Amino acid sequence: MAAGSLFIVAAPSGAGKTTLVRKLLEQDKAVQLSISYTTRAPRPGEQDGREYNFVDAAKFRAMRERGDFLEWAEVHGNFYGTSRVWLKEQMDAGRDVLLEIDWQGAQQVRKQFPEAVGIFILPPSLAELERRLRGRGTDSEEVIARRLTAAVGEMRHVDEFDFAIINNDLDEALKDLAAAVHAARLRCARQHARHPEVFAQISDPIH
């Protein structure tokens, strides 16, 4: 069985990554979302094991020391990590997996999975990004200022990714995200792995 594809989706806070990924998963059942571990507190409406696996800092450090994480990073004072075992099981079973991680995590993943497809979500402007962050109504002025400063640094890494999607209109951005996933599945190497019988005909002599 051909191994599944690995998609990495990154974005600064407030760019709309979580909403876009959720809508993509609703329409593309062939993609499995990797549920990261985090030490941050759940936001209203979030459930353990759905948005994240919520753990305390001590447990996270213990998992990190055991080598449980494919990648991990500290973002805004909280730790985030991706399960190595779960990811390998899914891909070995031929399932496509999507990681919602930051650029630091993406760099770590690409070292082990250079064939991973990187997709970066950009806001149309910093002014719009600030408006969205304030619209959440959950962060203090200090947190918003810190997120905006961090966003500029994060967006400077966009050229490390294969695709860049500007989320100005949610429906259009979703179409772009689905198109990027579809295009990645059509890469020659992936088609060779998933449809060897088709390519075998090409190498066989014509009788």
* pLDDT at position 204: 65
pLDDT at residue 1 tops 60: no
Among the listed residues 55, 7, 13, the one whose alpha carbon sits nearest the alpha carbon of residue 34: 7
| CATH numbers and ranges of domains, the chain | 6-202 (3.40.50.300)
DSSP string, 109-146: HHHH-TTPEEEEEE-S-HHHHHHHHHHH--S-HHHHHH
Query: Rounded CA gap, 75 and 60, in Å?
Result: 14
In percent, the amount of the chain with pLDDT more than 70 equals 97
pTM to 2 decimals?
A: 0.83
What pLDDT, in 10s, does the model give residues 38-63? 999 999 999 999 889 999 999 999 99
| Angle (nearest 5°) at CA 101 between 96 and 102 | 145
Which pLDDT band holds residue 94 (cuts at 50, 70, 90)? Answer: confident
What is the SS3 assignment for 73? strand
DSSP 72: E
CB atoms within 10 A of CB 71: 23
